[in-house]
């Protein structure tokens, strides 16, 4: 299968691109290499994918470009069987500071992908959405019917992305599926994520910093479970325009997470508390029963095991990864 992965040098996109290559697919990646965080991490991901292509039957091509470039997107999509759309201007807090950038990338860029996919008669379009579309919880866990009232421009942009996918599916019979990811983590995660930040600080004798009370809870999803969901959805028989929660089914408070990491790495440290950040949801918790029924989704890595494995990975890759985290 010929697959275009947008944002394929990023954290989730990079893991997907690598997995597809290992599976024997021909993968083309587009990424603008914007320095939202140290692009050394993206460059390492590109090298990892190229190495995978050298060792497996799948092929890999990287193209530096922006999904807002409609002509470039049209050229790339033309020869594809599937589009796996991960490119986005990420960051809930960053979106509060620069909502125009978020809208231009996440909404306009998605229109380019969807329109080009219709014109190229693409078989399947998988789109990364986010638990941020839910906003304030009216009940937990969130199922896909929960009201969507996002509390950040980022969440609004992702909700608009979902609506665009639905409309293109209804108007043009384009087979789209939107995946609402719940706080994805794992090897090569963004340096500014809570887990990578906590681990880095503890390894360097610095107290983990918690914003707010720490009583906020998160449903942390291991990247390997996200990869499995996307692999299955490439060929699964699903309803066009559908939306699926992709989470872990469990939650942990930020305070407990910081304590878990602190106790494993530097139990002598105290936790540090700072002012709560704008637009952060108080709680996230996924009901994945719909994904389980539709594609057999079964998240396999809980947060405690996932954190332990990440710490092991961090230690093994500390020479190149830690400087990127420390400089972010």
| Active-site annotation, residues | 154
Helix (H, G, I), strand (E, B) or coil at 115: helix
Q: Is 279 left (phi over 0), alpha (psi -120 to 50) or beta?
A: left
User: Three-state DSSP class for 280?
Assistant: coil
- The whole-angstrom separation of Cα 220 and Cα 202 is 20
Residue 3 tokens, joined: 């697959």
Alpha-carbon span 76 to 113, nearest angstrom: 10
How far apart are the C-alpha atoms of 132 and 180, rounded to whole Å? 8
- Over its C-alpha atoms, the chain yields an Rg (Å, rounded) of 19
Q: How far is CA 56 from CA 83, 103, 313, in A?
A: 21, 38, 23
Q: Report how far residue 325's alpha carbon sits from residue 320's, in angstroms, rounded to the nearest whole number.
A: 9
Per DSSP, 207 falls in state P
Task: Quickly list DSSP for 81-110.
Answer: SEEEE------HHHHHH-HHHHHIIIIIHH
């Amino acid at each position: 299968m010929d697959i275009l992965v947008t944002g394929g040098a990023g954290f989730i996109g990079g893991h997907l691109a690598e997995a597809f290559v290992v599976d024997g697919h021909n993968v083309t990646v587009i990424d603008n290499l914007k320095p939202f965080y140290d692009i050394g991490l993206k460059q390492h991901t590109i090298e990892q994918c190229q190495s995978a292509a050298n060792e497996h039957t799948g092929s890999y091509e990287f193209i530096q470009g922006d999904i807002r470039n409609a002509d470039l997107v049209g050229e790339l999509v033309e020869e594809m069987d599937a589009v796996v759309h991960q490119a986005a201007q990420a960051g809930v807090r960053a979106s509060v500071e620069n909502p125009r950038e978020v809208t231009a990338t996440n909404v306009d860029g998605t229109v380019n992908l969807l329109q080009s996919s219709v014109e190229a008669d693409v078989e399947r379009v998988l789109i990364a959405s986010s638990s941020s579309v839910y906003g304030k919880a009216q009940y937990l866990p969130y199922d896909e019917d929960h009201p969507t009232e996002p509390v950040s421009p980022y969440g609004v942009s992702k909700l608009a992305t979902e609506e665009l996918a639905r409309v293109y599916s209804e108007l043009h019979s384009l087979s789209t599926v939107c995946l609402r990811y719940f706080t994805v983590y794992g090897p090569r995660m963004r340096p500014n994520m809570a887990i990578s930040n906590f681990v880095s600080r503890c390894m360097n004798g610095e107290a983990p910093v918690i914003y707010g009370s720490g009583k906020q809870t998160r449903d942390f999803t291991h990247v390997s479970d996200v990869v499995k969901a996307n692999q299955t959805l490439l060929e699964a028989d699903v309803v066009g325009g559908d939306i699926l929660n992709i989470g872990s089914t469990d939650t942990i408070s930020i305070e407990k997470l910081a304590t878990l990491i602190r106790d494993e790495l530097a139990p002598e440290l105290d936790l540090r508390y700072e002012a709560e950040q704008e637009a952060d949801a108080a709680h996230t918790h996924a009901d994945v029963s719909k994904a389980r029924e539709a594609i057999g989704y079964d998240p396999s890595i809980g947060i405690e095991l996932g954190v332990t494995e990440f710490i092991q990975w961090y230690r093994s890759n500390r020479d190149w990864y830690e400087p990127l985290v420390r400089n972010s």
